[in-house]
Amino acid sequence: MRHFEQEITDPAAWLAQDGDGWQCRERLTLSDMPILLMRDFKETNHCSLTALTSVFTYFRRQGVTGLPADPQELFSWIRAKARAKWMFHPAIGTFPWQIAPLANQVWKNCNYPARARNVFFFTRRDALETLLIDELRALRPGIISFTHNRYHNHSVTFFGYEYWEKGNEHRIFLRVNNHWTRAPRFVELTHLGEGSDSYIALCLFRL
């Protein structure tokens, strides 16, 4: 039996455990997304800072020139702002509800007319799948902060998805950078927001 603590490295193999007949109908990956690791940066409890560095490095590659191009410089820049606003401490990291306000400090500093916002979920909502897919189709990565599952008390960056179907059933897998490995990792949306597979917040970006 599969457990919610298991990592998903291959959606096809994961679905094969539920029988044959699954077909991937749609796949999207943001190719300019950097795969950054927490160990790349000299800090502790800094998953949210790494996730923000990853997202803002992506936007830098999309032409937001007010941001530092070097991820190390950008991370230091974000960390300095987080410390100045009491949004980061090495002993505890950054709380999920502080991620969007911190992102907005970055946007403000580089004089770019964009905003970030937190969306909080404590139970599953049917609109979740649509929300996440719409973000990615608009070429916007985002950040998820979890309370449970493999990424307990951890923030990851989402930057793609796979949509699978079998008959009237469908399953959606988010491609994520968990900031621990550069190997492919996925989060299934089927039970996200339900009981032991719940999470706290999404940080979404608007350009």
- Ordered mean pLDDT values, 10 residues apiece, the chain (207 residues): 70 92 97 96 96 96 92 96 95 94 94 89 72 94 85 92 94 95 91 66 82
pLDDT at 127: 73
pLDDT at 126: 67
Domain boundaries, the chain: 11-206
- Residues sharing a CB contact under 8 Å with residue 79, sequence separation 6 or more, in sequence order: 43, 46, 49, 88
pLDDT at 1: 37
Alpha-carbon gap, residue 110 to 107, rounded angstroms: 5
- Contact assessment for residue 32 and residue 174, using Cβ atoms and an 8 Å cutoff: no
pLDDT at 130: 87
- Contact assessment for residue 186 and residue 174, using Cβ atoms and an 8 Å cutoff: yes
| 68's tokens | 């530092």
Alpha-carbon gap, residue 147 to 4, rounded angstroms: 12
Alpha-carbon gap, residue 25 to 79, rounded angstroms: 40
pLDDT at 148: 72
Name the percent of the chain in helix, strand, coil, to the closest 5.
35, 25, 40
- Residues sharing a CB contact under 8 Å with residue 112, sequence separation 6 or more, in sequence order: 64, 66, 67, 207
Q: Could you tell me the fold of the domain covering 11-206?
A: Cathepsin B; Chain A (3.90.70)
Largest interatomic CA distance in the chain: 54
| 107's tokens | 């946007």
